[in-house]
Each structure stands twice: as C-alpha cells, then as structure tokens.
Amino acid sequence: MLSIGEKAPDFTLCDKEGKAVSLSDFLGKKVVLYFYPRDNTPGCTRQACAFAESYDEFRSIDAVVIGISKDSVSSHVKFAEKYNLPFILLSDPEHKVIEAFGAWQEKKNYGKVSFGTVRSTFVIDENGIIEKVMPKVKPDTNAAEILAYLKGEK
C-alpha cells in the first residue's frame, strides 16, 4: 500500500457517465480517494451513502470525493442512481489503479484465499502527494473520520 509523502500515481478511468477522469484533473484540490469492493453490497452501500450524506461538507472545504471499484460503468450508473450518489465513481475493471495504490490484496474468507479490493481511503493533497492513508477502513465511520481529519478535528 502506498504511504504518506509519496506522489499519488496519476491515472485515467471512466466515470459513471463513461467520461475519462484523471487524478491530475484535481491538482489544486484535496482528493479523498476511496477504494471499495463492490457496488450494491451492504458495506459498500453504507460507505457510499455516508459519503453522499456528507458531500456538501466535503465540497464546502473544496475536497473532491472519488470512489473506485472494479465494477463496470453500467453498474456504477445503477448504484449512483439507486442511492443518489453525487460524487465521482470510477470503474477499474482490470484493477490497475487499485493495484497501483496497494488496495488489491490477498483476502481470506472461510478458509478460502482469493484476491480482492481492500476497503481503504487516501487523502491526496493539492500537489498530488498522499497525506493520509487509511487501510482496512470501516464502512460506517470512514466518511466521518475523513471529514474530521480534513477539518483538523482529528
């Protein structure tokens, strides 16, 4: 997993409208980049809805929220429409960006070993440098913790 102080790797992925979005598009702003396993699963839905509920607060401090999973663009469209998600969702079906940030890891579930996305969040500063790393976050508290951090409360 990438560390604090490292330059975040630039990338370009498609958003829920199929438009290409690059990390470098947001230089000059704080970026909250969160990786999640799958659209429409209970934990991922709670996490996304928490970011949506706090979206105006993130915008008020000039922070951009971006969620990335390996789901397809069409899956993101349905997910965003179903839960009124106002922030950017990016599709990484080959998990290249997920891997570049170190969020693609071995997982064990009921004795079965597989690889998948580990729910993790990065705060990237205005110059593209990682300033906070939160590996293995909890879906219910992640948005509030990041917002408190950005407001200097934590």
Which pLDDT score is estimated for 124? 98
Q: In whole angstroms, what is the distance from residue 87 CA to residue 10 CA?
A: 19
| pLDDT exceeds 80 at position 49 | yes
pLDDT at residue 55 tops 80:
yes
Residue appearing with tokens 């909250």? 32
DSSP 59-109: HHTTEEEEEEESS-HHHHHHHHHHHT--SEEEE-TT-HHHHHTT-EEEEEE
> Which amino acid type is present at position 106?
E
Q: What's the pLDDT band for 134 if we cut at 50, 70, 90?
A: very high
Q: What's this model's pTM, rounded to 2 decimal places?
A: 0.95
DSSP 28: T
pLDDT band at 110 (very low <50, low <70, confident <90, very high): confident
Residue 18 CA to residue 12 CA, distance in Å, equals 12
Q: Over 70: is that where the pLDDT of 154 sits?
A: no
Are residues 65 and 43 in contact, defined by beta-carbon separation less than 8 angstroms?
no
Q: Whole-number mean pLDDT of the chain?
A: 96
Known catalytic residue: 14? no
Check whether 99 has a pLDDT greater than 70. Answer: yes
Q: Which domains does the chain have, with CATH numbers?
A: 12-150 (3.40.30.10)
Share of the chain above pLDDT 90, in %: 91
| From 44, 50, 90, 146, the catalytic residue | 44
Mean pLDDT in residue range 94-120:
92
The pLDDT value given to residue 53:
98
Question: In the structure, what pLDDT confidence band is assigned to residue 73 with cuts at 50, 70 and 90?
Answer: very high
Residues 6+ apart with CB under 8 A from 93: 70, 71, 72
